[in-house]
């Protein structure tokens, strides 16, 4: 069985486990097996024969999108990492400005 590493954001769907095991000779087979074993986790990363948008899948440290996608080979010695994309930040950081929320209270207290 292949080791599948589960990030903290998905551990609730994996029964709190950091790692689970699934079988298959390709990423597709592995994700189908994972979905059968842990439907809540599987459906967050794989649905209708495709990896969910904003989810990255790595086999032995390589993004499957740069390899053979769902047909990327996996073995019993492979490690698969499921990594949902995360986003955040502020508009000020995007335009090079500074947010007043980031200033210490003393700096904003004297402003009208």
Q: Indicate whether 107 belongs to any domain.
A: no
Q: Indicate whether 68 belongs to any domain.
A: yes
pLDDT band at 100 (very low <50, low <70, confident <90, very high): low
Q: Indicate whether 108 belongs to any domain.
A: no
**DSSP state letter for 65:** G
Instruction: Name every residue whose Cβ is closer than 8 Å to that of residue 74 and which is 6 or more positions away in sequence.
Output: 2, 24, 25, 26, 27, 30, 59, 80
Rg, the chain, Cα only: 20
pLDDT tens, 42-99?
999 999 999 999 999 999 999 999 999 999 999 999 999 999 987 766 555 555 555 5
Containing structural domain, residue 45: 2-91
| Closest by Cα among 60, 66, 70 to 4 | 60
The total of structural domains in the chain comes to 1
């Amino acid at each position: 069985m292949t080791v599948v590493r589960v990030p903290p954001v998905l551990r609730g769907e994996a029964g709190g486990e950091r790692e689970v095991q699934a079988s298959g000779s390709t990423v597709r087979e592995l994700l189908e097996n994972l979905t059968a074993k842990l439907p809540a986790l599987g459906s967050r990363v794989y649905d209708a024969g495709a990896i969910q948008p904003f989810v990255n899948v790595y086999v032995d440290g390589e993004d499957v999108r740069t390899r053979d996608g769902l047909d990327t080979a996996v073995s019993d010695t492979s490690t698969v990492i499921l990594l949902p994309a995360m986003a955040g930040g502020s508009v000020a950081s995007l335009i090079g400005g500074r947010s007043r929320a980031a200033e210490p209270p003393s700096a904003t207290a004297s402003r009208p």
